[in-house]
Amino acid sequence: MKLKNIAGILFMGVFAFSCKAQKKEILFPKGEKITNANFTGTAYLQILIAADSLNPTSVGNVTFEPGARTKWHLHPGGQILLATDGIGYYQEKGQPKKILYKGDVIKCPPNIQHWHGASVDNYFVQVAITNTQNGPPVWLEAVTDEEYTSSKK
């Protein structure tokens, strides 16, 4: 076998391996672009589990582009966020903004005003687990640029 052929086979092997590795990095599908008015910037949603009468829990994969975030809102039944990729923010009203990295988890109590989203320079991916038994999310005002970029409140 010629050296050129061996190099070619090796190259194809590395290429195939890197494709497989890249595909594995995406945990859940990105889903569709969110077009409702409850978000600022560009975000995507893939519903993974729809709530029903037997289990009123909805699970969604949300991908925020840099700068994108939810409006202020609350969940009557509370919410759990699992950070799966990128760098994000989470803030409860009157509390410091938290920076979220892959592997971080947030337990948001029922009826606590908060927002979540990507950081300024990085995208963010979260799995949002929402208890809907006491009603759907209540959407409030937009997170201003000042609130979004604030490092303390």
| Interface residues toward Mn ion, by CB under 5 A | 79
Cβ 15 to Mn ion shortest distance, Å? 41
Q: Which is nearer to Mn ion, 18 or 111 (CB)?
A: 111
Q: Which is nearer to Mn ion, 65 or 92 (CB)?
A: 92
Query: For residue 151, how far is the Cα from the chain centroid?
Result: 20
Q: Which is nearer to Mn ion, 79 or 91 (CB)?
A: 79
Cβ 120 to Mn ion shortest distance, Å? 20
> 63 with 73: CB under 8 angstroms?
no
Cβ 33 to Mn ion shortest distance, Å? 19
Taking CB atoms, the residue at the shortest distance from Mn ion is 79
Element (DSSP H or E) covering residue 23:
helix 3-25
Cβ 73 to Mn ion shortest distance, Å? 6
Residues in the chain: 153
Inter-CA distances, 39 with 29, 35, 42, 118, 131, Å = 19, 8, 8, 11, 20
